[in-house]
Amino acid sequence: MRRTSLWTVLLFFSLSANGQYWTPLAPYPVAVSGAYGFNIEGRLFVGGGISSYDPLVGHAGFYEYLPDSDQWLARATPPFGALYRAATDQWDGLVVGGSRVDTAFHPTNELWHYDPLTDTWTQKASLPGIGREGLVVVPFDQGWPTFQAGLGGDPGMNDWYQYDGYADQWSTLPSLPGPGRTGAVGYYATDTHIALGLGAVSLSDTGTTFPNEWYWRPGVLFGDSLTPWIPAPGCEPLATARAGAALAGQFQGDAYVWWANVSVGGLGMSGSTPSVLGDLSAVTACNDHFPLGPHPDGPLAHAVALYQMYYDMGTVYIGTGCTALIPGTWNPQAFTNAFWRYTIGGLELGMQEQGLGELTWSWQDDHVLLHWPATTDRVEIDVLDVLGRVVQPTRRYDGRSMLATIEMNTPGTYLLRWRSGDDQQVIRFVKP
């Protein structure tokens, strides 16, 4: 198993003291709800959704967001066309389920993979069972194309599966207890367990119920296929049960440092009225929920939320979605193309020496000094820009040397990637 760590000096529990920052970004090209999105090595992609419910209008476009220039660039239109409420593995360009859209919704169980290097789509083995929208995907690790998925549909289902990206095949896992759910969320709760929660029994019934229980079971590479779900320990449910929330920030293997997921909006009841919610919450590894305040544009459901894992620890990109419902239904009436960057404050690492667990680094004039514990494995160090592109030749060291001096003359934001054996650590720093 490849281990990846991204270090920061701020743990999640101190976020309230460090402030939160919203930055408006270039609007998405079309106002849509139910789009899908993923982050591949720091590159952000968004596509699909619908731009009108009555009459029904699907959006087949697919775009990459360029943070440096704050613009959207059209990429290859997917062969599956417009897709509504599909799920993704967040990190590896895998899109599963959803409803194909023409003059009606056509639920699908297809799985597709996007390759950003060739700008092409490839179909993979389909999810078992019937086609569905509003399903859940819980990925394991960036660069590790294996995940668990299921639920979704209307009325909601509770079946659960594991996808092996290397063999391109699915296996059946124990179903989630209780009623089926659509529009639920899931994430890695610890290094060995995943958590599932939220969702609605149906989003075609205004009298639907919203299960607010959370469950755990062993993750993708842990436990066997017979291990059952158990009630999540220490779970503090959200004050308002909901479905269709956007979730970003899944733990990635060893990189979680007790970082939490950010849950954005969703659909829920306001009194006896179906409503779009506009609050943000954080869900930690302990299943605690911390209010983070309102979304700056107000209510938002079926949005896209993407966590910037490699170089923007603590940053979530949030955009598109439904902002209002057709009265007396759960169907979208108003749509947005607004896109925001949400940052929990205090995350610039600064120019002073920082302790990074296994690594320490400091500045000396225009040089970064990096020190690591002695190892018998070879050490490789790369300097990358904010798009993940290597900007200096790879440096290779005898692991017993324990020290590297890296010259940095050009101002900007960089990633310094340290690799040794199966370990990898990434440091984000700013050269003024």
- What is the maximum alpha-carbon separation in the chain? 68
Percent of the chain whose predicted confidence (pLDDT) is above 70: 78
- In DSSP terms, which residues pair with 377 in a beta bridge? none
- Report, as an integer, the average pLDDT of 25-47: 94
Residue 144 is predicted with a pLDDT of: 63
Instruction: With beta carbons less than 8 A apart as the criterion, state whether 277 and 393 touch.
Output: no
Residue 432 has pLDDT above 50, yes or no: yes
- State residue 374's pLDDT score: 79
The pLDDT value recorded for residue 194 is: 81
**Distance between CA atoms of 29 and 73, rounded to whole angstroms?**
9
8-344 against 354-431: fold identical? no
pLDDT of residue 220: 55
Predicted confidence (pLDDT) at residue 20 exceeds the cutoff of 80? no
pTM listed for this prediction:
0.74
301 secondary structure, DSSP code: B
Domain range annotation of the chain: 8-344, 354-431
pLDDT tens column, 189-236: 665 678 888 999 999 999 999 998 888 887 655 556 778 898 876 666
pLDDT score at 62: 98
CA angle 374, 378, 383 (to 5 degrees): 100
Domain 8-344 is classified in which CATH homologous superfamily?
Answer: Kelch-type beta propeller (2.120.10.80)
- For the segment 272-303, what is each residue's pLDDT rounded down to a tens digit? 899 999 888 766 555 556 677 788 889 999 99
Q: Are 234 and 288 in contact (CB under 8 A)?
A: yes
- Alpha-carbon distance of 307 to 310, in angstroms, equals 9
Highest mean pLDDT among 246-260, 323-337, 344-358: 323-337
- CATH superfamily for 354-431 is Immunoglobulins (2.60.40.10)
103-115 pLDDT per residue, tens: 999 999 999 999 9
pLDDT, position 161: 93
- The pLDDT score that the predictor gives to residue 256 is 28
State pLDDT tens for residues 65-101.
998 889 999 999 999 999 999 999 887 899 999 999 9
What's the average model confidence in pLDDT over 236-245?
Answer: 81
What are the phi and psi torsion angles at 306 (to 5°)? -125, 130
